[in-house]
A and B are shown apart, each in its own frame.
Chain A
Amino acid sequence: MTPERRAPAQAPLIGPGHTLGTVTDRIAAVVLTAPTPRAWWVGFAVGFALLLVLLDAVAYLLLRGVGIWGVNIPVGWGFAIINFVWWIGIGHAGTLISAILLLLRQAWRQSINRFAEAMTLFAVACAGLYPVLHLGRPWLAYWLFPYPNTMGLWPNFRSPLIWDVFAVSTYATVSVLFWFVGLIPDLATLRDRSPSRIGRAVYGILAMGWRGSVRHWERYETASLLLAGLATPLVVSVHTVVSLDFAISIVPGWHTTIFPPYFVAGAIYGGFAMVLTLAIPLRRIYGLEDFVTMRHLDYMGRVLLATGLIVAYGYTMEAFVAWYSGSPFEAHMMLDRFGGRYAPLYWSLLLCNVVIPQALWFQRTRASVPALFAIAMSINVGMWLERFIIVVTSLHEDFLPSAWGMYYPTVWDWATFFGTIGLFTTLFLLFIRFLPMISIFEMRTLLPEAEVKEELA
């Protein structure tokens, strides 16, 4: 990894007094030697309990059918799609940090990209459940894949749902590859430092015999850059496709051209909020304040502010276009959001996503960990509400008033939602327990010792 040449303007990205050795030991210890903190066990217990809830909800769903959810005619999509979009969006921050910021040579990304990418994978895993579960006949989900069959039938490639299949599966694959490639040198470190035979063997196999040869590093760097170059348009395309699920339709409130950029910005927004939500407790529990510094938090606060403003612009445009289009259906959709039966949700969405984050303009807020955490949480909620508003309020009152109806989630909707949160927590905690949550070799490059003297260069 190419470290920043310029001396950092602000506080360094890594605490004082660290050497190649201490960085390595400090991060590897979390996985190899240090005792598992109580907080981990508590979190794992909660997460696993919720995971069991998910299993119940899914079992009952398969037994009875999607009727156990609140979906109906006219509101054919409910929590399943809301949560799908929410999770996918969260996932995007990981890829963004590791890919886009890499291309932009943002050295500060190096201490957060590892667990951000992990977050991506697990978020995508949670998201991936929903499109399958929300089918009337989930056991036939494989019909969405183009495979030669005895019916001589193929998927309809004009349907955004098929685009989803391609986009999300590609996204998942590429994320896994990217993440694994990034892990290889650190796996080698763990291999060489693991006190147990099994540890050495397992990490050894995964490290595939990495030995830090100059030639390896050369190709490794090229591969990382190329992957970053591929992942960047990919991540944009994925949420674009997700937004097309709506934009391609003719439903007022869905059928709008601003959706792709607006969704991508929203994804980054929500994703960074989730990164903060995870980073703040992590650095605290594992005492990693030296690696995830206040400067990191400050940067993420700025990203939130910027993307938040784009999202706010999106909301404004929705309203403006609804009026400007002169279409009675669009107009009614917007008025319904302002004053209809779901209006309270719409206004709390604006509160969470637009009003509260404005506090990030102030250095003081960005310097206060509790404030950042609170804002991140409000954005997590806000982004979920945004998806609820988009999915439900657009559908429940569309073209023919005779067909209008309401959508009320059932206990099973909630169980499935919190269940996936449990799934995410469980996977994430397992990750930080068994893999380095911060990229060790990239941290090394941030150290002064890692710099080659000028006359040699």
Chain B
Amino acid sequence: MRRPPIHGLLAEFDDVNDLVRAVRTARAAGFRRLDAYTPFPVEELSHAMGVRPSRLPLLVLLGGVGGGLAGYLLQWWTAVVAYPINVGGRPLHSWPAFVVPTFETTVLGAAIAAVLGMLALNGLPMPYHPVFNVPRFALSSRDRFFLCIEATDPLFDREGTRRFLERLVPRHVSEVEH
């Protein structure tokens, strides 16, 4: 589809409640391509925006299982197959001893999956993003709350949407360049 002239419209609010209210209204009005920015996590917003629960836990599970298997197989292969050695009369396949490193590799795999997964799903790193073009957006990491309706939204209309946002009595509405 044709690339819209701007990224979207950004409304700034003083209070988290106003933002929640705004998001609800926007969703009610049928807007779908919108995003809200807050200085701290706000559960209600996720609900309000109808964010689907993340697939992260699955990734973490896979990471853990992978790490664990790799760890145990490494130990079994080196001790039993690669170079079997009689160590203090213990059996070659000393599984009780192998449990410990296996646990550690499991945790390691899971943790790495969690962090990388989170970044990947969030599309980070992304040092450049259009919303940063709005100077006041800097306050989103302090005490202001922003709602951005993106131009790609089917209902988006540069003038109409601005008026719609004005009605939510924001402190300020600004256009977001690409």
Direct A–B touching, Cβ under 8 Å: yes
Residues of chain A having any CB pair with chain B under 8 Å = 1-2, 19-21, 24-25, 146, 152-158, 162-163, 166-167, 170, 173-174, 177-178, 180-181, 185, 188-189, 191-193, 204-205, 207-223, 226-227, 230-231, 233-234, 237, 241, 244, 441-442, 444-445, 449-450, 452-453, 456-457
Point out the residue from A189, A204, A217, A241 that lies within 8 Å of B38, measured CB to CB: A217
Selected A-B contacts with CB under 8 Å, 7 pairs: A166-B100, A177-B112, A208-B127, A214-B36, A214-B49, A230-B60, A452-B17
Judge if B1 is at the interface, Cβ distance under 8 Å: no
Supplied contacts A204-B127, A223-B118, A237-B100, 9 more A-B pairs, CB within 8 Å: A170-B107, A177-B111, A181-B118, A211-B37, A215-B51, A221-B41, A227-B115, A452-B44, A456-B20
How many whole Å from B48's CB to the nearest CB in chain A? 8
B87→A152 contact, CB < 8 A: no
On chain B, the residues within 8 Å of A212 by CB distance are 37-40, 140-141
Report how far A162 CA is from B78 CA in the complex, Å.
Answer: 14
How many whole Å from A165's CB to the nearest CB in chain B? 8
B100→A244 contact, CB < 8 A: yes
A2→B141 contact, CB < 8 A: no
On chain B, the residues within 8 Å of A444 by CB distance are 39-40, 143
Judge if B149 is at the interface, Cβ distance under 8 Å: no
Report how far A208 CA is from B127 CA in the complex, Å.
Answer: 5
Interface residues on B, range: 35 or more
On chain A, the residues within 8 Å of B115 by CB distance are 177, 180-181, 223, 227
B127→A222 contact, CB < 8 A: no
Point out the residue from A20, A152, A157 that lies within 8 Å of B143, measured CB to CB: A20
Report how far A158 CA is from B142 CA in the complex, Å.
Answer: 52
A152→B82 contact, CB < 8 A: yes
Report how far A292 CA is from B118 CA in the complex, Å.
Answer: 30
On chain B, the residues within 8 Å of A214 by CB distance are 35-38, 42, 45-46, 49, 51
A449→B100 contact, CB < 8 A: no
On chain A, the residues within 8 Å of B142 by CB distance are 20-21, 24-25, 189, 192-193
Residues of chain B having any CB pair with chain A under 8 Å = 15-17, 20-21, 35-46, 49, 51, 54, 56-57, 60, 64, 71, 74-75, 78-79, 82-83, 85, 87-88, 90, 94, 97-98, 100-101, 103-105, 107-108, 110-112, 114-115, 117-119, 121-122, 124-129, 131-132, 137-143
A19→B143 contact, CB < 8 A: yes
How many whole Å from A311's CB to the nearest CB in chain B? 24
Report how far A20 CA is from B139 CA in the complex, Å.
Answer: 11
A217→B46 contact, CB < 8 A: yes
Known: A146-B74, A166-B100, A452-B44. A218 touches B54 (CB 8 A): yes
On chain A, the residues within 8 Å of B94 by CB distance are 157-158
Report how far A316 CA is from B152 CA in the complex, Å.
Answer: 70
B44→A457 contact, CB < 8 A: yes
On chain B, the residues within 8 Å of A25 by CB distance are 142
Report how far A204 CA is from B124 CA in the complex, Å.
Answer: 12
A166→B105 contact, CB < 8 A: yes
B98→A223 contact, CB < 8 A: no
A20→B127 contact, CB < 8 A: no
Most interface-central of A173, A217, A445 (chain B CB within 10 A): A217
Point out the residue from A20, A154, A156, A453 that lies within 8 Å of B82, measured CB to CB: A154
How many whole Å from A188's CB to the nearest CB in chain B? 5
A211→B140 contact, CB < 8 A: yes
Report how far A263 CA is from B127 CA in the complex, Å.
Answer: 44
Give the 6 A-B CB pairs with smallest separation, nearest first. A20-B143, A208-B125, A154-B78, A223-B118, A209-B126, A217-B41
Report how far A220 CA is from B141 CA in the complex, Å.
Answer: 15
B39→A441 contact, CB < 8 A: yes
On chain A, the residues within 8 Å of B88 by CB distance are 158
On chain A, the residues within 8 Å of B39 by CB distance are 20, 24, 189, 212, 441, 444
In the complex, the chain B residue whose C-beta lies closest to that of A443 is B40
On chain A, the residues within 8 Å of B42 by CB distance are 214, 217, 452
How many whole Å from B117's CB to the nearest CB in chain A? 7
Report how far A1 CA is from B87 CA in the complex, Å.
Answer: 50
Known: A173-B111, A218-B54. A452 touches B117 (CB 8 A): no
How many whole Å from B47's CB to the nearest CB in chain A? 9
Report how far A204 CA is from B103 CA in the complex, Å.
Answer: 36
How many whole Å from A245's CB to the nearest CB in chain B? 11
Most interface-central of B71, B88, B138, B141 (chain A CB within 10 A): B141
How many whole Å from B126's CB to the nearest CB in chain A? 4
Report how far A212 CA is from B16 CA in the complex, Å.
Answer: 13
How many whole Å from B112's CB to the nearest CB in chain A? 7
Point out the residue from B101, B111, B114, B131 that lies within 8 Å of A163, measured CB to CB: B101
A157→B121 contact, CB < 8 A: no
B104→A220 contact, CB < 8 A: no
On chain B, the residues within 8 Å of A227 by CB distance are 111, 114-115
Report how far A449 CA is from B105 CA in the complex, Å.
Answer: 42
A456→B44 contact, CB < 8 A: yes
How many whole Å from A452's CB to the nearest CB in chain B? 5
A219→B122 contact, CB < 8 A: yes
B108→A213 contact, CB < 8 A: no
Report how far A237 CA is from B46 CA in the complex, Å.
Answer: 35
Known: A166-B101, A208-B124. A220 touches B90 (CB 8 A): no
B143→A21 contact, CB < 8 A: yes
On chain B, the residues within 8 Å of A166 by CB distance are 71, 100-101, 104-105
On chain A, the residues within 8 Å of B111 by CB distance are 173-174, 177-178, 227, 230-231, 234
Point out the residue from B79, B107, B114, B138 that lies within 8 Å of A233, measured CB to CB: B107
A222→B56 contact, CB < 8 A: yes
